[in-house]
Structure 1
Amino acid sequence: MTPIDTLILARRVVPVAGPTRVLEDHAVAVRHGHIEAVLPAAEARERFEAVEVVELDDHVLLPGFINAHTHAAMNLMRGIANDMPLMPWLTEHIWPIESAFMSPGFVAEGTDLAMAEMLRSGTTCFNDMYFFPDVVAERVDAAGMRAAVGMIVIDFPTVWAANAAEYLDKGLAVRDAWRGHERITPVFAPHAPYTVSDEPLEKIRTYADEMDLRVHMHVHETAFEVNDALEKTGERPLARLDRLGLLTPNFLAVHMTQLTDDEIDHCARTGVHVLHSPESNLKLASGLCPVQRLIDAGVNVALGTDGAASNNDLDMIGEMRTAAFSGKLAGAQPDAAAVSADTALEMATLGGARALGLDEITGSIEPGKAADLCAVDLSAIETAPMFDPVAAVVYNASRERVTDTWVAGRRLLADRRLTTLDEAQLLDTAARWRDTLAGHARQPAARRSSE
């Protein structure tokens, strides 16, 4: 028998890639952090001798979810300012709080809280955009997760950097410090067209081309953003980014709720990836991304939650359901077949891996890939009777049904218990920050009935 580290026996395995949609009574063999084989359970028992055997009799085993757009440390501001549009939310609440309280400690504790939430909902990898990316990388390394760590760039000064040049210098130092790490990938993260001027964007394009790094940016998030740019410059933000040479297969455009048919076609031609955050877009009333039109045009669409301050959770199972449901109404005509359950699952796994340039490493259950996996228990009343495990996960399950999460073969969630993060300590941390920030929380005025 062949010695391996872990043998996971599952009632159902959904590989996402490959010829078979659902594998019944299969096993995944894990050795040195990678998938050694995917094969029938009976054959696996005869072929492998494992240090640990995990039996998932009522579960579906999936690739770990890839949260393609986060601001992880903003978990400490969950619900701080609700029920308002993007720009007032940012300028009147979020940015002032960040100006007053941002620090390495804030980012470390907020990122730990976010990672715990993500692991408990089956997420194995996230793409982050926030201050102190050096601290984010350190916390990711300690927790054992996988992440694309954003080298943030903004024109105006913050506690992290005084100007765009310093943001770039500090970001490149982060890239040098973590280059070659097995689970951490640096990416450029200019915030948005309205916060980053041409000169730093041109430098980012040059560096990204030279270093083959992704560029992660909010684009066409709201109609206000597009109309404001048109009034000030006569140019739509996406056209400006194209003029600056940024629209390439390395470009990750977040939100994209305001798109013309020509812009969709141009994204397909240039290889741009779109990172869809439906719940944040709905909560802030920013708009609906035309997901099915993008996919039909050949654009890779990934799924992300955005930050917990605007969502207000990091639940990728919930995000899949919202993406599927809202996607059926986001086209020119309602279409119940748009953004199917399978499409939503692919967006949350392999689509995210493609966007981050990690599709040879993660995003599907295939031999040779990292053992980034999650198990969802489908034995509950809420998923019974169960005819289709993919639909059951996307349309019926909740994140509370996730029992186990592995990253690179390491079990970071075991029977709903975090193994590298201290839940009690995190709850104490959250309570302390709640007390610190309580005076800044916006309580919306009650809206009178029209009757």
Structure 2
Amino acid sequence: MQVDLLIQARWIIPVEPESVIHENSSLVVDEGKIVDLLPTEQAILKYQARSVEILDQHALIPGLINCHTHAAMSLLRGIADDLQLMDWLQNHIWPAEQKWVSEAFVRDGTDLAIAEMLRCGTTCFNDMYFFPEITAQQAMQHGMRANVGLIVFDFPTVWAENADAYLTKGLALHEQLRHETLISTSFAPHAPYTVSDGPLRNVITYADEMNLTVHMHLHETAHEVDEQKGKNGQTPLRRLHDLGLLTPSFIAVHMTQLSAEDIRIYAETGGHIVHCPESNLKLASGFCPVAQCLAAGINVALGTDGAASNNDLDMLSEMRTAALLGKGVAGDASAVSAMTALQMATINGAKALGLDGEIGSMTIGKAADVVAIDLSELETQPMFNPLAQIVYAASRHQVTDVWVAGKQLLKKRKLTSFDLPALKQKIKLWQERLQERPGD
């Protein structure tokens, strides 16, 4: 039988079924889909492939899903470090954005983010930022899978003048993108403290009608929770629950400030959490009680947040931090295992985005979003358990090859759709602009 691609690997970790690791096996890909997974000896006899990749020192995993990003903010990496969240936002990030964010800023910043994410093994990202049409355009140009946030604020920005305008533009963009195979959309009201009840009710109505997810920062800091309580005695979570926003289509990002009662209430709604451990640590925002949330039946995915607050988009590093921090917060070394961390970075993200029928694991019929990691490096030797080595020891520089829907976007560490010297020159120009001071 003739197929497009045969990837022979030392190990294949499909994620589903859980904890299964295939040795000396091959992934068979045709027309962008996984059509078989079987021992390499059998694959050679059964299939004639137009292209064969022999990766006999590598592990294959499903493409990583970065479930919360602000991709274009990669241009602000390192511009305001070592600050608390509200100081960082109000006195540094928002003023820089007000001055510089434009279609060109989002185009170049998104290109930088996509290039970095592919080199880290990420094949899908869930974004929230201005000019989402540009984010979608750049993702499509590079063959990257993306869920693009239809952002909503109460106040005017460079993209829209008020909440109604954000929704109108978002609805038009959703219509424009709805037939794109690699692009999906979510409503993305920024946060409880930046979006009032009226626009949130409109988001609920549209999301229900259009069967779209809603992606929102929630309970990121103690300040956010205390401020809301001071206004009406409610936590932000309780306010959104009373509005009817918390449903199985809701994706809450951060959730570092959670009581046992909050966890119980949120579990009952069927909503999802995106854990961003490194950003939360860097901004001293708090700790999401991941083990408790998982034990309550909440689906917990993983994201990096933007490179302005992380300061990278490295999902391998994020998995390690999530596993280690989860153990420390729970006081239990068995909490957030290597397998759990990998699930958070793959199938759990797919579930949150409503894409688990298409991506998140290497099972027959799903899209061939695949990452190859070279485990022969000194830093991942000796080899007792490839899954543990990926989560606890491997680095992003060991990601050698990446496919999205069967198309190779990273080949032997080289990006196939980027002119890197040209991209670096654009980033250098942005650096010079962003360093300008008033009067320059």
- With the length of structure 1 as denominator, give the TM-score of the two structures: 0.96
* Aligned position for 1:271: 270
The answer on whether the counterparts of 1:154 and 1:164 sit within 8 Å (CA) in structure 2 is: yes
Give the secondary structure class of the aligned counterpart of 1:342.
helix
Q: Quote the Cα distance in structure 2 between the aligned partners of 1:300 and 1:387.
A: 29
* Aligned position for 1:131: 130
* Aligned position for 1:375: 372
Q: Quote the Cα distance in structure 2 between the aligned partners of 1:142 and 1:102.
A: 21
- Poorly superposed stretches of 4+, deviation over 3 Å: none
Q: Quote the Cα distance in structure 1 between the aligned partners of 2:19 and 2:240.
A: 40
* Aligned position for 2:103: 104
Give the secondary structure class of the aligned counterpart of 1:160.
coil
* Aligned position for 1:17: 16
How far the C-alpha of 1:294 sits from its partner, in A, is 0.3
> Cα deviations across residues 326-367 of structure 1 (Å, max 9, x unaligned)?
111223xx1111111110000000010000000000000001
Q: Is 1:391 aligned to 2:388, yes or no?
A: yes
Please tell me the residue identity of whatever aligns with 1:361: E
Q: Quote the Cα distance in structure 2 between the aligned partners of 1:138 and 1:19.
A: 35
How far the C-alpha of 1:20 sits from its partner, in A, is 5.8
> Cα deviations across residues 269-322 of structure 1 (Å, max 9, x unaligned)?
110100000000000000000001000000000000000000000000000000
Q: Number of residues paired by the alignment?
A: 438
Q: Quote the Cα distance in structure 2 between the aligned partners of 1:187 and 1:366.
A: 25
* Aligned position for 1:411: 408
How far the C-alpha of 1:180 sits from its partner, in A, is 2.4
Within 5 Å, give how 1:341-380 maps onto structure 2. 341-380=338-377
Give the secondary structure class of the aligned counterpart of 2:328.
coil
Q: Is 1:210 aligned to 2:209, yes or no?
A: yes
The answer on whether the counterparts of 2:19 and 2:339 sit within 8 Å (CA) in structure 1 is: no
* Aligned position for 1:80: 79
* Aligned position for 1:42: 41
Q: Quote the Cα distance in structure 2 between the aligned partners of 1:329 and 1:20.
A: 23
Q: Which runs of 5+ in 1 are unaligned?
A: 442-451
* Aligned position for 1:434: 431
* Aligned position for 1:444: none
* Aligned position for 1:338: 335
Q: Quote the Cα distance in structure 2 between the aligned partners of 1:84 and 1:94.
A: 11
* Aligned position for 2:54: 55
How far the C-alpha of 1:440 sits from its partner, in A, is 6.2
Within 5 Å, give how 1:185-204 maps onto structure 2. 185-204=184-203
Deviates more, 1:228-237 or 1:270-279: 228-237
* Aligned position for 1:448: none
Q: Quote the Cα distance in structure 2 between the aligned partners of 1:276 and 1:355.
A: 12
Query: CA RMSD for the aligned pairs?
Result: 1.0
> Cα deviations across residues 27-51 of structure 1 (Å, max 9, x unaligned)?
0010000001011111111111111
Give the secondary structure class of the aligned counterpart of 2:185.
strand
Please tell me the residue identity of whatever aligns with 1:287: G
Q: Quote the Cα distance in structure 1 between the aligned partners of 2:389 and 2:242.
A: 44
Please tell me the residue identity of whatever aligns with 2:416: T
Q: Quote the Cα distance in structure 2 between the aligned partners of 1:284 and 1:19.
A: 33
Please tell me the residue identity of whatever aligns with 1:288: F
The answer on whether the counterparts of 2:301 and 2:348 sit within 8 Å (CA) in structure 1 is: yes
* Aligned position for 2:160: 161
Please tell me the residue identity of whatever aligns with 1:182: T
Q: Quote the Cα distance in structure 1 between the aligned partners of 2:261 and 2:212.
A: 26
Q: Quote the Cα distance in structure 2 between the aligned partners of 1:378 and 1:428.
A: 33
* Aligned position for 1:3: 2
Q: Which runs of 5+ in 2 are unaligned?
A: none
